Structures are given as structure tokens and as C-alpha cells.
Amino acid sequence: MNFKATSDHLYSEMQSELYNLKAKSLSNIQRAKDSALISKRYLNELKNFINSHNFEDKEEEICYFKRVRPMFSREMDYYAMLLEIESRCPIGDNKAILDYYKSQIDLLSVRLKGNAFLYQYYTFNEDCDDSLFFVRNPEGCAHVILNDLDFDNHTSNVYSAKFGEMQAIEDLISYLDLEIVNQSKDKNGDSETSKESKSNRVFWKGSLAHFYELVFALVDAQAVTGNIKQVMTVLGHCLDVKPGNYYGYYQAMRIRKKDRTPFLNWLIKCLLKRMDEGDEYPLSKK
């Protein structure tokens, strides 16, 4: 299997296992622990493949370190940090929980600001230094704080790891923001409604690319209130999706030469098929 086919397959399998885990009746701590182990296993499988893989060109090498590897390490970092946060969360006292979540957001924000240069590089989807950062033997940068870690530059590098870590931190901040909203509802006497909504949750089964495409369309059509970031965060929480560098995906979508909106086109086909089948068998679908 080639690089893209292998990485796509591993990522799909990882997401499928993580999705199946969500359906199990587990505590937040146990689910975070099991999810961290699953994502770590798939990251290791990806690294094993890359160990014996020769990149076809510089573009494929950059794609691995900048896009693909962070998709896997992001999941592992997210669940590992979530496990630590949930393990230390106060029990019972609603105010103490709210204060704890707010303090964790502050700490996570400080971590993002600790590498302002690289975070800006990631946020604005820059590529001017890709050939220096996202390769097997990256060059150092005076603007980037590097941890004293022993990285195997054949399958990992510190810039790639930090890209995944920053995405995981963004995910955690979004998660904690919405947990604060939920805790505030419980504090105001909406606990029964909150419990009922959690028991009836639905999850996103499509890809992140599909999710981004849908959200951009909803916002641009003014079908929902809020800006792109707000809608990404709220719908992401509702459907258990962790949006990442969606503006980078949008730029890639915008410059496509063919079928720039494949998911939206597929949705139209699915709805039309349902309508056509409903014409033939009006009572068969509910």
C-alpha cells in the first residue's frame, strides 16, 4: 500500500475504534484512558509503516510531518491530557468543578502562547518554512521552544509533535468551555435535562473534511447564527467532533479543479434517492 492509502486506512480504523468506544457505558476517566491507548497504538502502526517507507518526494515528506502524523498524535495527546484533567477534577462541588475547569483553560492557553511563532504558523496555515520544519532532519528555529526530548527524526520531529499537541490543546479548551456551560446549567437546576440530553447523544460518523464542508456551507448560507469558529465548536461538541485546522482545509477545498464540494453533492444525491424510493414505497421510510 502507498503512503496515502495506508495512512487513510489507519486513520479510518482508529476513528472507528474510538467511535465504538463512545457507545460503551464507561466513566469519563476510563473512556479517556482507553481512547489514549487506542490512538497510541495506531500512531505506532503509522510510525512502523513510515520506518520502512521512502517518501516519493519532498511534498509527501512534508505532508506526513505536517498533516498526517499530527492527526494521530493529536488524538493521543488529547485523550492523555483529558485523562489527567478528569483524574484531578473535584467531585460533587459544582463551583469547585467550574473553577477547576476555568483554571485548566488558563493553563492550556499559556501552553499555546509558549510557542507563539509556531502557533501562528499553524493557525494561518503558513508554508514558507515547511521544508525546514516538516522533514526528517529539521532545522532549529530561534522562535520555537523545543523540549529536551529524544525524537526519532525518521518517523517524528518536534515541530510535527507540537502541531499535534497544539491541536489537542485547542480541542481540550473547546471541550472545557462547553463543560463549563453544562455545569452552569446543572447549577441552575437543569440537571435532569442535561442527563437526558447526554443519554440521547448522536455522533458524527463522517470524516473531518465532510464536517468542515458542511459547517462552512451552513455559515455562508446564514442558516445558523454565529461565525465559523463558534459553529465549529458548538456542532463539534454536539456531534463529538474535534475540529482542527479547518481554514487550511478550506483553502485546499477552494483551489480544487473538480468537485469542490463532494460531501454536499453526495448529501443531495442521498436525499434525492430517499425521495425517489419514497415515491415508489411511500410507507417504507420513516
Summarize the confidence of residues 215-219 as an average pLDDT.
95
**Quick one: which of 11, 16, 70 has its CA closest to 205?**
16
Residue 17 near residue 75 (C-beta atoms within 8 A): no
Dihedral of alpha carbons 108, 110, 114, 118, sign: positive
Supply the pLDDT for residue 180: 86
Residue 76 near residue 36 (C-beta atoms within 8 A): yes
Supply the pLDDT for residue 179: 84
**Quick one: which of 45, 40, 38, 37 has its CA closest to 9?**
45
pLDDT in tens, 98-151: 999 999 999 999 998 888 888 889 888 888 999 999 998 887 665 555 554 445
Supply the pLDDT for residue 17: 87
Rg (CA), the chain: 21
Q: How many helices (H) and strands (E) does the chain have?
A: 13, 0
Is residue 188 over pLDDT 70? Answer: no
* CA–CA dist 286, 42 (Å, integer): 38
User: In 74-107, which positions are buried (b, 16+ CB within 10 angstroms) versus exposed (e)?
Assistant: bbbbbbbbbbebbeeeeeeeeeebbebbeebbee
Summarize the confidence of residues 35-59 as an average pLDDT.
94
**Quick one: which of 244, 247, 255, 163 has its CA closest to 207?**
244
Supply the pLDDT for residue 8: 84
* CA–CA dist 35, 40 (Å, integer): 8
What residue type is assigned to position 198 of the chain? K
Supply the pLDDT for residue 199: 56
Q: pTM for this one?
A: 0.75
Secondary structure (3-state) at 110: helix
Supply the pLDDT for residue 208: 78
Summarize the confidence of residues 56-67 as an average pLDDT.
92
* CA–CA dist 198, 214 (Å, integer): 23
Measured CA distances, 104 to 98, 107, 235 (Å): 10, 5, 22
For the chain, first and last CA: distance in Å? 41
**Quick one: which of 78, 68, 7 has its CA closest to 40?**
78
Angle at which helices 228-239 and 246-254 cross, to 10°: 110
What is the percent of the chain with per-residue pLDDT over 90, rounded to a whole number?
40
